[in-house]
Amino acid sequence: MAWDEWEQIKSEVTDRQSVAMRVNHVPMDPPPAGPGAVTGGLKSSKKAWVAAGEEVGSLRRSIGTALTRLENGQAGLGAATGCLSAAAQKEVYDSWKKYAEGVGERCGALQGILEQVGHDLLSTDDAVKGEMRKLNLKYADTGAVGGHAKGQ
């Protein structure tokens, strides 16, 4: 593109009135007071939020079932002393049990947040993000075992 063409484009842009970004043709003017005033007319469904929370809750129940089966599989293992493979198996079991319990707790906390958002549809995005940040901090995953790959 020639320099003078670039200068012409720039001058045309500066001559125009500033154009505000519009998302999906929603006007930038503040909405009038009344129903939908806070959300700018955006509709949300309490039912959808509660359903999402219930689905996350079903994950928690599935994890509970898996933990019960895992525990039943441990029955009869006996003392882990004197047998290296039994001791290693017990260590793996304890680690996975702790991890799965943590995932179950995280699902329960997330379920609560989703259902609460459904009940309080006027919660701000910042409030929801804040709750999610707290959840992420509380249940932060541990780093991978074995160090980090170089160059990644």
Name the residue with tokens 């509660």: 50
CA distance 76 to 89: 13
Number of domains, the chain? 1
Q: Is residue 73 part of a domain?
A: yes
Q: What is the pTM of this model?
A: 0.56
Q: Does some domain include residue 63?
A: yes
Q: Phi then psi for 83, rounded to 5 degrees?
A: -130, 110
Residue 92: inside a domain: yes
Residue 69: inside a domain:
yes
Q: Report the C-alpha gap between 72 and 87 in whole angstroms.
A: 17
The Cβ of residue 111 has, within 10 Å, a number of other Cβ atoms equal to: 20
| Radius of gyration in angstroms for the set of CA atoms belonging to the chain, rounded to a whole number | 27
| Domain membership of residue 84 as a residue range | 46-138
**107 falls within a domain:** yes
Asked if residue 33 belongs to a domain, the reply is: no
Indicate the average pLDDT of the chain: 75
Per-residue pLDDT, 34: 53
- Written as tens digits, the pLDDT of the chain (152 aa) is 566 777 777 777 666 655 455 555 555 555 555 555 555 666 667 888 888 889 998 999 999 999 998 888 887 776 667 778 878 888 888 888 888 898 899 999 999 888 888 777 656 778 888 888 888 888 877 666 655 555 55
Query: Does residue 27 fall inside a structural domain?
Result: no
Per-residue pLDDT of 39-57, as tens digits, reads 566 666 788 888 888 999 8
pLDDT for res 3:
65
What sign has the CA pseudo-torsion 70, 74, 80, 84? negative
Q: Look at residue 12 and tell me if it is in a domain.
A: no
